[in-house]
Amino acid sequence: MSEKRQHPAIKLELHPRNKHRGRYDFKELSKFCPQLAPFVKSNIYDDESIDFSDPQAVKMLNKTLLKQFYNIDKWDIPPNHLCPPIPGRADYIHYIADLLAENNGGKIPKGKQIKCLDIGVGANCIYPIIGNKEYGWSFVGADVDPVSIASANKIIEFNPFLKPSVEFRLQKNPLNIYLNIIRNGEIFDLAICNPPFHASMAEAKAGTLRKLSNLKNKKNTKATLNFGGQNQELWIDGGEVRFVRNMIKESQKFKYSCFWFSTNISKKSNLKAVYAALKTTDATEVKTIEMAQGNKVSRIVAWTFLTKDQQKVWKDLRWHIDERDRQRTAS
Tell whether 276 is covered by a domain. Answer: yes
Tell whether 12 is covered by a domain. Answer: no
pTM: 0.87
pLDDT of residue 321: 57
Q: Mind listing the pLDDT tens digit for each residue in 48-103? A: 899 988 999 999 999 999 999 999 999 999 998 989 999 999 999 999 999 999 99
H/E segment holding residue 62: helix 55-70
Share of the chain above pLDDT 90, in %: 71
Largest CA distance in the chain: 62
Q: Mind listing the pLDDT tens digit for each residue in 126-160? A: 999 999 999 999 999 999 999 999 999 999 999 99
Torsion angle, alpha carbons of 10, 15, 17, 22, to 10: -20
- Provide the 8-state DSSP code for 117: E
- The mean pLDDT value of the chain amounts to 86
pLDDT (average), residues 246-272: 97
Tell whether 62 is covered by a domain. Answer: no
Tell whether 1 is covered by a domain. Answer: no
In whole angstroms, how far apart are CA 91 and each of 17, 166, 268, 294, 325? Answer: 8, 20, 18, 13, 27
Number of folded domains that form the chain? 1
Q: Mind listing the pLDDT tens digit for each residue in 230-250? A: 445 444 665 899 999 999 999
CATH of the domain at 97: 3.40.50.150
Tell whether 17 is covered by a domain. Answer: no
Tell whether 64 is covered by a domain. Answer: no
Tell whether 49 is covered by a domain. Answer: no
Q: Which domain holds residue 137?
A: 74-330
Whether the per-residue pLDDT at 196 is higher than 90: the answer is: no
- Provide the 8-state DSSP code for 97: H
pLDDT of residue 6: 58
194: phi then psi, degrees, rounded to nearest 5? -110, 95
pLDDT of residue 3: 53
Ramachandran class of 147: left when φ > 0, alpha when ψ lies in -120 to 50, beta otherwise:
alpha
Tell whether 60 is covered by a domain. Answer: no
